[in-house]
Amino acid sequence: MENKAESLMGHGSFWLPRSASTVSDNTDLLYNVIMWGSTLLFIAIIAVGIYFVIKYRRTSANMKAEKHVIHNTTLELSWTIIPLILVMIIFVWGYKDYLKLSIPPADSMVINVTGKKWFWQFNYPKEGKNMLNEVVVPQGRPVKLVMTSEDVIHSFYVPNFRVKKDVVPNRYSIVWFEAKDTGVFQVFCTEYCGDGHSGMMATLRVLSQSDYDKWLVESELSEDIPLDQLGKKLFETKACVTCHSVDGSAKVGPTWKGLFGHHVDLANGQSVEADENYLRESMVAPNAKVVKGFAPVMPTYAGLLKDKEIAALIEYIKTLK
Ligand code: CUA
């Protein structure tokens, strides 16, 4: 979270995090006009109210001058027409921005997004890349996200881009943005989706076009490190961290500390030794052996982890004594 949080909060205003997409400045301007406009009107109405309370308070002079006003056409028209004009300005402005946000440019690059308890999966159909909880996009190019959910309703939210959209099972929802700056931004899930909801976050990295092209090539090679270190990286990037701890504390799932080689009590009353085969099975068929005291909520990682990655995670678990 360190550098992510810094990037998320850094350089923003008191009200809003840094605006980093081509549409977010419009959204912020409308927000500021509505907020400061309402604030000014509020202060003006209260000021006039206080002034009238004092000026027309009950005194003998005021009582003598008292006149009963029953109708005032000018007043009625002005308090109807002036607010109508203000509201219509906000409506037309908001509707135009809404259309801009809803229609992705025709030359957008497409990334498929799947929300799942409790991680985000990103699939680049053209580039053939698959990523978990991390997405990399080029700066200055419109990106269209075609999103769906494999289980419950999630919501994809990037505060810095001012885009948010529900991610719903059995249909696609679309969101698009064009990043105007490079940087690291946080993706949140903003629809309560169960125990791991608050940990359902992804990192959105914006690279310059040339760095992005380099990344496309290099990320293929970056796995050439010792297996346990690769496993440690995967623990974060493949979202294991959302539900498992490595310090012995229980989260949604059992901790990985001291797991390897020890006996595990299962929900069905049996017990198994946590060896390589048990760990592998727990990743690809997590409901085959559910640990006692835990709900069978882990999604299968079959197809999401390559063989080498499964081996790397096992090596990492072995180091957690
Ligand atoms: Cu997914 Cu909350």
In this prediction, residue 222 carries a pLDDT of: 61
Place of tokens 């709900």: 295
Helix, strand, or coil (residue 177): strand
191 CA closest ligand 1 atom index: 2
pTM of the shown model: 0.70
The domains located in the chain, with CATH, are: 1-68+104-218 (2.60.40.420), 227-318 (1.10.760.10)
- Residue-wise pLDDT for 250-306, tens only, equals 888 889 998 888 888 898 888 888 888 888 899 988 988 889 888 888 888 887 888
pLDDT of 5 = 45
Averaged pLDDT score across all residues of the chain: 87
Q: What percent of the chain has pLDDT over 70?
A: 94
Predicted local confidence at residue 3, as pLDDT = 47
pLDDT tier, 9 (very low <50, low <70, confident <90, very high otherwise): very low
Q: Which residue has the tokens 């700056």?
A: 181
pLDDT per residue over 228-253, tens digit each? 888 888 888 788 888 899 988 888 88
Q: Can you tell me the distance from the alpha carbon of 209 to that of 143, in angstroms, rounded to the nearest whole number? A: 13
Half-sphere exposure of 178 (CA within 13 A, CB side): 17
Q: How far is the CA of 170 from the centre of ligand 1 (A)?
A: 16
> Residue 184 forms beta bridges with which residues?
205
Distance between the two ends of the chain, CA-based, in angstroms? 25
Residue pLDDT, tens place only, 191-204:
999 888 998 999 99
Ligand 1 contacts CB of residue 232 (under 6 A) = no
Percent of the chain with pLDDT strictly greater than 90? 41
Ligand 1 in reach of 134 Cβ (< 6 A): no
| CA 308/CA 233 separation, integer angstroms | 13
191 Cβ below 6 A of ligand 1 = yes
Cα 117 to averaged position of ligand 1 atoms, centre (Å):
7
Residue-wise pLDDT tens digits, 52-90:
999 888 888 877 777 777 888 999 999 999 999 999 999
Tokens at residue 277, please? Answer: 């085969």
Residue type at position 104? P
Residue 143 predicted with pLDDT over 80:
yes
Give me the residues paired with residue 266 across strands. 291
Instruction: Check pocket membership of 196 for ligand 1, CB cut-off 6 A.
Output: no
Lowest mean pLDDT segment, chosen from 15-19, 182-186, 205-209:
15-19
- Determine whether 211 is exposed, middle or buried from the number of CB atoms within 10 Å of its CB (0-12, 13-18, 19+): middle
Instruction: Check if the beta carbon of residue 206 is closer than 8 Å to that of residue 158.
Output: no
- CB of residue 36 inside a 6 A radius of ligand 1: no
Of 232, 216, 222, 242, give the one whose Cα is nearest residue 298.
Answer: 242
Lowest mean pLDDT among 5-19, 80-94, 153-167, 217-231: 5-19
Given a cut of 70, is residue 224 above it in pLDDT?
A: no
pLDDT of residue 1: 36
Closest residue to atom 1 of ligand 1, CA basis: 154
